[in-house]
Amino acid sequence: MHGKDTDPSQKWYPWFKGEVEKRDVPCIVPILPDAQDPKIEEWVSTLSQTHPDQETVLIGHSRGGVAILRWLEKQPPSVKVRKVILVATNSGFVKNRAIPTETNNGFYSVAGYDFEKIKMHCDDFVVFHSKDDQWVPFVQGDENATGLGARLISFDDKGHFGKGIDTILELLTELEIK
């Protein structure tokens, strides 16, 4: 799940899809609607259309990670996924938006994420966050990792994992594919 103001043809996304498909692992990289002014209902609906199940690894970058967490919050108890990897994912708190004047459209709330509901749907969470992220401060990645009981994999020099970051080899390691 890509982030705001982008699409699957940019950043490290094409590399990742190519690497996964080279290993004969199915990979769906949806084009999320209205990426310049996203609405949570539309992004959650797009994720639902991919039909995640207990064999699925969900990977979300930035706002795409927020969409994954919001999707998990809304699922019935029977829905489970294998793993969730969040890359530079925002806090769920409205007060922590990267740009306070940007539209919210349901991504953030006063209460933040309901981590207990989210954890009902997955037992394996990993958070990738860089200490020099210029858009989503490292403390938000730490907050997400703590709330999810996730492993936090920190970096010093990946920024927001955006422009100039064409590969994230650690993602392949997390998928247990070489």
Arithmetic mean of pLDDT, 131-135:
96
Residue 171 class from Cβ within 10 Å (0-12 exposed, 13-18 middle, 19+ buried)? buried
Interval 25-65: pLDDT, tens: 999 999 999 999 999 999 999 999 999 999 999 999 999 99
Interval 74-89: pLDDT, tens: 999 999 999 999 999 9
Average pLDDT, the chain: 95
Complete domains list, the chain, with CATH: 13-174 (3.40.50.1820)
Q: What is the dihedral of CA 11, 13, 18, 21, to 10 degrees?
A: 170
Arithmetic mean of pLDDT, 154-165:
95
pLDDT at 103: 83
